[in-house]
Amino acid sequence: MTKSEPAGGTTTGSGDIARSLELLWGTGERPSRGPKPGLTLDRIVATAVGIADAEGLDALSMRRLSTELGTGTMTLYRYVPGKAELLDLMLDRVQGEPLTMDASGVPDDWRTAIDVMAHTYRATLHAHPWLLKINQARTVLGPSALRGLELALTGLRGMGLTDPELISVIITVNSFVEGLARTENHAAEAARDTGLSDAAFWEGQHPYLERAMLSGDYPRMAALSEDAFGPGFDHFAFGLARIVDGLGALVRQRAGQ
């Protein structure tokens, strides 16, 4: 493990920040000498994302990446200093995938903008589950990250909130989306790792739960309908609507002031 590769390689901004920024902003893409024909930074990052998508971050290493690219590991290091910097590039790449509109295409209604923001982020997390494994507390801000933030702020411009409050709106919505996506991802991982479906898992507990409900010790739980925990209820839509309702109350309050 090199100095720039933290254990697990799951913390953004943990490598050489200056080098990551050079690569993100296009000032240091080509190595000074000995490049392998056909090997580009874009191809390196795309291949790394493909490995992480298919097998998870644990499967991604500079050695594995160089093998996938058909080049030597030392050649790869001429393009990217290590896995920590590679992670910064991967994150910016997947953040840029859904950014197909310019500022003129952002919805004028902040409610619609939040709905688009939430659903877009959810789709990104489902397409790249490894994102949920990353500590992004210190994200290195590349072009995609800044453009995404610019579009989000453009969509929220009609709320009439202070700048810190607008940032908090984005944090609140993204945290909600991440929370549900993480739960969904954990459920999928459990089913895959155990070979036991959700239905089979809960069915195995049914006799014990039924006795517990009949004991009288859990009256509130026993009173719940059979579909209380069923798959038919859209928790994402319900939770997002309540967030928008709460923000709407604040917007109306500010408008009244």
Tens digits of residue pLDDT in 112-123: 999 999 999 999
Indicate if the pLDDT at residue 197 is higher than 80: yes
Indicate if the pLDDT at residue 102 is higher than 80: no
Residue 52 near residue 128, CB atoms below 8 Å: yes
Helix (H, G, I), strand (E, B) or coil at 11: strand
Indicate if the pLDDT at residue 8 is higher than 50: no
Confidence of residue 99 (pLDDT cuts 50, 70, 90): confident
Confidence of residue 4 (pLDDT cuts 50, 70, 90): very low
pLDDT of residue 7: 42
Can you name the residues that pair with 163 across neighbouring β-strands?
none
Q: Nearest CA to 86 among 28, 20, 159, 39?
A: 20
Domain(s) of CATH 1.10.10.60: residues in the chain: 7-96
The pTM is what?
0.86
pLDDT of residue 32: 54
Distances (CA, A) of 22 to 31, 39, 78: 12, 18, 13
**Nearest 5°: phi and psi at 219?**
-60, -40
Q: Which fold has domain 103-256?
A: Tetracycline Repressor; domain 2 (1.10.357)
Indicate if the pLDDT at residue 103 is higher than 70: no
Q: Which residues contact 80 (CB under 8 A, 6 or more apart)?
A: 23, 41, 44, 62, 86, 89
With residue 82 as reference, give the H or E element that holds it.
Answer: none
Q: Which CATH number fits domain 7-96: 1.20.120.340, 1.10.10.60, 3.30.70.1290, 3.60.110.10?
A: 1.10.10.60
Domain(s) of CATH 1.10.357.10: residues in the chain: 103-256
With residue 206 as reference, give the H or E element that holds it.
Answer: helix 198-214
What is the rounded average pLDDT of the residues 162-172?
Answer: 97
